[in-house]
Amino acid sequence: MVAQSDGNAKPVTDFEKFVDILKKCGQDVVIDADLTTIERAQLDAFSCYLHHNLDAILVRFAFALPLQPVLSGEEEEEGGENVGRKNDTEILKDAFMALNTLSTKLGDNKFFCGNKPTSLDALVFGYLAPLLRVPLPNDRLQVQLSACPNLVRFVETVSSIYLPLSEDELKRQQSNRKMWQSRISKAKADKEAAKTTEETAEALPDEPPMRDAILFTIGALALSLVFAIHTGLIQVSVEEEIAE
């Protein structure tokens, strides 16, 4: 996210910083003002929790199969690096746990800190809405999210209050849905096809490259020679010719 704070200032690209600036700019914006310190502390803790458990999944699935045509290859690579250290199962497990934790935390409340919206609500909405609305090839997370009715209700509430859609947009959404459905099924078919080609590819093991073998032989020979000289198996004597 990029927000221009004053025209001459540099862009702000971080949700937390953005909230900070809004708080400081002292206009009519009131965010998180009437929270107790403990609530504010929990807010910080939760925003950190969300970043660490859900960033990976959004990157992973947003940059995965069906969206590929939309996003350039460069972005995809960058995204891939960020989550390279975790595998898919771990990411999913983390995300499942995060959803459960959020669901528990929300309980029957309208917002996370009772009846008033806070910056945490905005952040959670930012994470959950795409998970709920954007069609993904892997729908396990969506299934899991639908299993937490209070989170689904939360997303509906926030979007109906703060991001109401006009009729035109609704219509467009309907027509887009068909396109997405076909895209998903196409992606699934592609995936299947990729799998079968992969399997056939695996059946034919590559021959080890010749260059590696030669390098290995040279290395091994050199090492044994050094060893032999070192232990005295081969003795080298240098005879100097005496100059006249």
Partner 1 sequence: MNAAQDWEDVSLFTPYLNDQALMYDFAECLAVQTFLRMTSLPFNVRQRPNVDFISPDGVIPLLKINKTLITGFNAIVDFVHKKGVTLTSHLSETQVADMRANISMIEHLLTTVEMYVLWKHDETYEKVTKPRFGSVFHWPLSSVLPFLKRRKILEELADKDWDSKTMDEVGEQADKVFRALSAQLGTQKYLTGELPTEADALLFGHLYTLITVRLPLTNITNILKKYTNLIEFTKRVEQQYFKQ
Interacting residues with partner 1 (CB under 8 A): 37-38, 40-42, 44-46, 48-49, 51-53, 81-82, 85, 97, 101-102, 104-105, 107
Which helix (DSSP H) or strand (DSSP E) does residue 141 occupy? helix 140-146
Radius of gyration, alpha carbons of the chain: 29
- Sequence-separated (6 or more) residues with CB below 8 Å from residue 76: 63, 68
By beta-carbon proximity to partner 1, the closer residue of 5 and 159 is 5
Residues 162 and 122 sit within 8 Å (Cβ to Cβ): no
Which residue from 84, 36, 26 is spatially nearest to 59, judged by alpha carbons? Answer: 84
Dihedral of the alpha carbons of 52, 57, 58, 61, in degrees to the nearest 10? 160
- For residue 204, what are its two tokens? 């034919």
Which residue from 222, 35, 53 is spatially nearest to 115, judged by alpha carbons? Answer: 35
By beta-carbon proximity to partner 1, the closer residue of 16 and 190 is 16
Q: State the minimum distance, in angstroms, from the CB of residue 213 to partner 1.
A: 27
By beta-carbon proximity to partner 1, the closer residue of 74 and 207 is 74
Q: State the minimum distance, in angstroms, from the CB of residue 42 to partner 1.
A: 6
Which residue from 102, 206, 89 is spatially nearest to 155, judged by alpha carbons? Answer: 102
By beta-carbon proximity to partner 1, the closer residue of 38 and 163 is 38
Residue 12: phi, psi to the nearest 5? -105, 125
By beta-carbon proximity to partner 1, the closer residue of 89 and 237 is 89
- Type of residue at 143: V
Q: State the minimum distance, in angstroms, from the CB of residue 218 to partner 1.
A: 23
By beta-carbon proximity to partner 1, the closer residue of 81 and 139 is 81
Q: State the minimum distance, in angstroms, from the CB of residue 77 to partner 1.
A: 12
Q: State the minimum distance, in angstroms, from the CB of residue 24 to partner 1.
A: 14
Q: State the minimum distance, in angstroms, from the CB of residue 20 to partner 1.
A: 10
Contacts 24+ apart (CB under 8 A), 106-109: 106/150, 106/151, 106/154, 107/150, 108/150
By beta-carbon proximity to partner 1, the closer residue of 13 and 68 is 13
Residues 137 and 65 sit within 8 Å (Cβ to Cβ): yes
